[in-house]
Amino acid sequence: MCALRSRAREQEDETPVGVRVRREARSAYASATGAAGRAPGGRRRAHFAAGVRDALDWALAYGERGPVTGARGDAVPDLYALTAEVDAATVRLDDPASPVDDREYVLGAHDALAWLCGHTDERPLARKVALHRA
């Protein structure tokens, strides 16, 4: 029975979340969950990390609503739904009247979702962490 569970876990780890595999998305989620709690870059970094965390939370079907649109779902969203959320984030980022904290949150969600969709190979939080270390 243990071998069956192990094989099922391996298969689950390889199921797609966008163009990534679930294992990669879960690893990024774990990093984002830790980063949202400790923000060496201050409040802006915390909002960015929260956006990443919430986007991955929704994409992994842990959360019920999309981070930008509030789209509901109880399963892993397909690539079309993930792309629609990225597009909504892009529109929100183009709004010059958006408050800084909201903008950082949406930017975090955008970066995570764009990574899941294959628009970038840069894992979410990698760039922000590097910027705050400099």
Number of structural domains in the chain: 1
Among 13-22, 27-36, 39-48, the minimum mean pLDDT is found in 39-48
State residue 37's pLDDT score.
57
Please answer whether residues 86 and 113 qualify as being in contact, where contact means their C-beta atoms are separated by less than 8 angstroms. Answer: yes
Partners of residue 72 on adjacent β-strands? 65
Of 37, 101, 89, nearest to 58 by C-alpha is: 89
Rg (CA), the chain: 15
Please report the pLDDT score of residue 97 as a whole number: 94
Model's pTM, two decimal places? Answer: 0.83
pLDDT digits (tens, 9 = 90+) for 69-114: 999 988 999 999 999 999 999 999 999 999 999 999 999 999 999 9
Q: Which domain holds residue 74?
A: 2-133
- Cα angle 102, 84, 67; round to 5: 35
- CA geometry: angle at 45 spanning 53 and 92, to 5°? 70
